[in-house]
Amino acid sequence: MLLDPDTENDVAYELCQLLGRAILPIRRTDAGAADGGRDEGTAFLFTGQGREYLLTADALTHAPAGEIGLRASVTEPAGVAGDAVALPDFAARWRHRADLGVAIMPTGGLHELADSAGWRWRTQQVPDPVAADRDAIARIGAEPGSAIVLAHGVGAGGARPLEVAIERVARVGDGVRVTTGLPLGYVGAPVFGVQAGGGDGEVGLRCLGLVLPARDGGHPLATFDRIREAFAAG
């Protein structure tokens, strides 16, 4: 569904309020300066099957050391947590689904790390009912529709600001993709599509999936219908 610009902006604002604290910056910490930000990405928290998980693109997770960035709004009490959670065993913490392009991390270990350092996570999660099912993905056609990406970009001096991008998604062949290239840091970020609601003119948001590395002038998505299959497989 393609929205007018004012409605897109309104939806993007509401989405930031509801799910902004579900979005976290990640990066590999063994990367050199010559990497130019290609190892900076985004992950997001998701609740499914009664558990909490961190999801991102698998391409970002094959490194011996990495970190999850923190901003003040996602931890409590104030001033206790640092700027990042260092994960020296980065690659081993993820369930790698290279066939889907997705990596999945159960968050129990992250909560244990926070407890041992005297702070707690204060986050939001993308809930399972918001994640698109097979029917929602099947309804995406070749005509571009409105989509909203929540991500941590890469700013000056290595800053990782929370950003929102209003883009277009469409079906190309047997896949769904964002139709243009995205800035550095957006790989792994969740993409939200807009569907028509009832006769009162309301719209409904669904998390379509996550951004995979760029290819052919855009970004393929790992769609949530297939991500659900990964959870079902264990």
**187 contacts: CB under 8 Å, gap ≥ 6:** 41, 42, 57, 59, 60, 211, 212, 213, 214, 219
Instruction: Calculate the average pLDDT of the chain.
Output: 92
- Looking at residue 34, what is its pLDDT? 42
Q: Is the pLDDT of residue 197 over 70?
A: no
Indicate the fold that domain 21-121 takes in CATH: Thrombin, subunit H (2.40.10)
Q: Is the pLDDT of residue 200 over 90?
A: no
Q: Is the pLDDT of residue 147 over 80?
A: yes
- Looking at residue 204, what is its pLDDT? 77
> pLDDT tens for residues 119-143?
999 999 999 999 999 999 999 999 9
82, amino acid identity: G
Residues 28-57: what's their mean pLDDT? 82
Query: How far lies 199's CA from each of 12, 162, 202, 230, in Å?
Result: 22, 34, 8, 35
Domain spans, the chain: 5-18+127-233, 21-121
Place of tokens 């190309």: 172
In angstroms, the CA 33 to CA 27 distance is 13
CATH number of 5-18+127-233: 2.40.10
Q: Is the pLDDT of residue 158 over 90?
A: no
β-strand partners of 192: 148, 207
CB contact burial 175-198 (16+ within 10 A = b; e otherwise): ebbbeeebebbbbbbbbbbbeeee
- Looking at residue 38, what is its pLDDT? 61
Structure tokens at 17: 């309020």
- Looking at residue 233, what is its pLDDT? 74
5-18+127-233 and 21-121 have identical folds: yes
Q: Are strands 51-57 and 102-106 parallel, antiparallel or unpaired?
A: antiparallel
> pLDDT tens for residues 92-123?
999 999 999 999 999 999 999 999 999 999 99
- Looking at residue 102, what is its pLDDT? 97
Q: Is the pLDDT of residue 3 over 50?
A: yes
Give, in degrees to the nearest 5, the angle at Cα 115 between 109 and 118: 145
- Looking at residue 230, what is its pLDDT? 84
Q: How many residues does the chain have?
A: 234
- Looking at residue 31, what is its pLDDT? 57
Closest to 48 measured CA to CA, from 212, 204, 227: 227
Identify the band that residue 39 occupies on the pLDDT scale cut at 50, 70 and 90: confident
CB contact burial 56-87 (16+ within 10 A = b; e otherwise): bbbbbbeeeebbbbbbeebbeeeeebeebbeb
pTM reported for the whole predicted model: 0.93
Structure tokens at 49: 């099957």
Identify the band that residue 212 occupies on the pLDDT scale cut at 50, 70 and 90: very high
Identify the band that residue 36 occupies on the pLDDT scale cut at 50, 70 and 90: very low
